[in-house]
Amino acid sequence: MVYAGEILVRKDAGRIDEINARLKLESMPGTVGIAHTRWATHGAPTAVNAHPHTDCSGRIAIVHNGVIENYLALKKELLDLDHSLASRTDSEVIAHLVEEYLRRGEQLEQAFRRALQRLEGSYAVALVSSLSPEKILAARRDAPLIIGVGKGFNMLASDITALLDMTKEMVFLHDGDMVVLTASGYVVLRIDTGETVERQVKVVDLTAEMAEKQGYPHFMLKEIFEQPETLRNSLKLQTEYVDLLAELLDRGRTIFLLGAGTSYNACVTGSYLFSQLARLPTLPVIASEFIPNYGASIGVDTVILAVSQSGETADVLSALEYARMRACTILGITNTVGSTLTRVSRAYVLQNAGPEIGVAATKTFTSQVLVLAKIALRLARLRGKIAQYEIDEFNSWLSRIPQAVSEALTRVNEPVRRLAESKVVFILGRGVSYSTALEGRLKLMELSYIPCITYPAGESKHGPISVIESGIPVIFVAPPDEYRKLNIGSIMEMKARGAYTVVVGDALDQELKQLADYYIEMPKIHPLLSPTTYIIPFQLLAYYTAIVKGHDPDKPRNLAKSITVP
């Protein structure tokens, strides 16, 4: 808060209600203030890393949501200019940069704008200063920021849900906007040119609960449609941690990719990526089977990369504890900062997918695959298994994933009713698409409660094809890869036995299109990265099948979001 010519800061790490009870945030004096609940990306969730962050003089305080990608370079520059930075966050550099421009004689608003021009990455940032005690300065780029217009007051927030209890009149700031806010008004200007712009007030007629779901009837659907954005965030991983994981993986003699449920399925995708890109064989393993299957044979040269959205899954943690006692190297990929997995891992990477509320994992699966692909690429380079032009090419495929996922989200899914009426569904794939099939099966099964059978398509003749009879749906995951011809053979085989074949394949593959009873068109994508995009129709099919059958997609029966018992 800004009060009596000073900035008062209260902050801590922990649960919001406990911090509030301890620090009495609500009783802070003053009428101009900023606050932020930090979802840690850089630096652990500690009091010193909590927001707000202040400059050296204590005259400026900022809160920031997003990732400042060039913060290391900015931090070095500021340290060389004798600034002293207290935290390990990327955000703190913003306060000191503004201070630096003030030192050089700029006025506060201009200093803020100059500082913003130096930032690379994403931000919604708000600043208060004892130099201008009646104002809040704020700005956004690639992160949401909304003004709530009230009678006798104005507010800012990242999300309309935070404002709805106070006002329904909102101004949605555009990327590259900066705002100067007071209790009686606001001025919006462009960060790059400084020119002022008009932004319309919109009346948002939603309840807070509707707004939390952003107009979607369920969190699951919201999270499915959020994927282009979460994937863009996951693309902005801190490369130093990806490098560290790649180095430690490369030192192992035996490497396990360990997870449960969806996270295990991502491990299966990872094993194909590690093998095909980096020529590194790894063993994907279901967490609860790790000790019985491999416990007796692990040791100091074993590396385990554990994948867990929550970072708290009991089967994962007990496998890791067992492995730690035997001097294995533990690495982690998780979506949850401060989770047990982050504490037991020698090094970990955060997925940056944001909180997932729906019980069924959707956006966290695609982001896990993307993180694994980035590590695999790094490993390939480290091990000298890939030429520079191939690295560039693969990187450009990686950056196209969010767009491909957007396109996949527009595809209709007519077979829903047909699936909803089936007593069993087959989902088959070969190569990396086997992992897509595994995850497709899990989604369909946990939401529709229809038994699903998945195995690598080449296995049909070895037994399971005997189940096939007229009308049973068989869904093939068939991107245009080296298994295309074999897939055609498998589809014919199923058709000959009367199966109803659904094929998820490339939009331009006319031959497959003619062969399938129903064809789901996918955009062009590197076949090894296809799980990120080819899983989308399964997520949508699972969701709509649940709706048709009258199930709650956010809370499938017998399931919980985090399985903390073995």
The binding site for ligand F6R (CB under 6 A) comprises 260-263, 308-310, 313, 316, 360-361, 442, 446, 562-563
Residues 490 and 281: their CA atoms lie apart, in Å, by 27
Residues 451 and 103: their CA atoms lie apart, in Å, by 67
Kindly state the smallest distance separating residue 313's Cβ from ligand F6R, in Å. 3
3-state secondary structure of 146: strand
Kindly state the smallest distance separating residue 308's Cβ from ligand F6R, in Å. 3
Residues 488 and 511: their CA atoms lie apart, in Å, by 9
For ligand F6R, which is the closer residue by CB, 311 or 527?
311
For ligand F6R, which is the closer residue by CB, 263 or 487?
263
Query: What residue type is assigned to position 302 of the chain?
Result: T
Residues 259 and 53: their CA atoms lie apart, in Å, by 37
Q: Provide the b/e sequence for 346-364 (b: ≥16 CB within 10 Å).
A: ebbbbbbbbebebbbbbbb
For ligand F6R, which is the closer residue by CB, 237 or 503?
237
**Residues for the chain: how many in total?**
566
Residues 339 and 101: their CA atoms lie apart, in Å, by 38
For ligand F6R, which is the closer residue by CB, 278 or 361?
361
Contact partners, residue 286, CB within 8 Å, separation at least 6:
259, 260, 264
- Longest Cα separation, the chain: 82
Laid out side by side, the sheet with 254-259 consists of 283-286, 254-259, 302-308, 329-334, 347-350
Kindly state the smallest distance separating residue 243's Cβ from ligand F6R, in Å. 24
Kindly state the smallest distance separating residue 558's Cβ from ligand F6R, in Å. 12
| DSSP secondary structure, 378-447, as one string | HHHHHTT-S-HHHHHHHHHHHHHHHHHHHHHTT---TTHHHHHT-S-EEEEE-THHHHHHHHHHHHHHHH
For ligand F6R, which is the closer residue by CB, 102 or 316?
316
Kindly state the smallest distance separating residue 20's Cβ from ligand F6R, in Å. 28
- For 88, the token pair is 């390990």
Q: What is the three-state SS of 86-145?
A: CCCCCCHHHHHHHHHHHHCCCCHHHHHHHHHHHCCEEEEEEEEECCCCCCEEEEEECCCC
In the block, residue with structure tokens 């969730």: 45
For ligand F6R, which is the closer residue by CB, 71 or 434?
434
Kindly state the smallest distance separating residue 442's Cβ from ligand F6R, in Å. 6
Residues 306 and 286: their CA atoms lie apart, in Å, by 10
For ligand F6R, which is the closer residue by CB, 208 or 560?
560
Q: What is the three-state SS of 272-303?
A: HHHHHHHCCCCEEEEHHHHHHHHHHHCCCCEE
388-408 and 536-548 helices, crossing angle to 10°: 20
Give the CB-nearest residue to ligand F6R.
261
Residues 337 and 13: their CA atoms lie apart, in Å, by 12
Kindly state the smallest distance separating residue 317's Cβ from ligand F6R, in Å. 9
Kindly state the smallest distance separating residue 219's Cβ from ligand F6R, in Å. 13
Please tell me what DSSP assigns to residue 467: G
Kindly state the smallest distance separating residue 315's Cβ from ligand F6R, in Å. 8
For ligand F6R, which is the closer residue by CB, 246 or 317?
317
Kindly state the smallest distance separating residue 225's Cβ from ligand F6R, in Å. 17
Kindly state the smallest distance separating residue 517's Cβ from ligand F6R, in Å. 28
For ligand F6R, which is the closer residue by CB, 308 or 413?
308
Please tell me what DSSP assigns to residue 173: P
For ligand F6R, which is the closer residue by CB, 230 or 309?
309
3-state secondary structure of 202: strand
Residues 441 and 437: their CA atoms lie apart, in Å, by 6
For ligand F6R, which is the closer residue by CB, 183 or 453?
453
Kindly state the smallest distance separating residue 227's Cβ from ligand F6R, in Å. 14
For ligand F6R, which is the closer residue by CB, 465 or 563?
563
For ligand F6R, which is the closer residue by CB, 95 or 371?
371
Residues 102 and 285: their CA atoms lie apart, in Å, by 56
Kindly state the smallest distance separating residue 314's Cβ from ligand F6R, in Å. 9
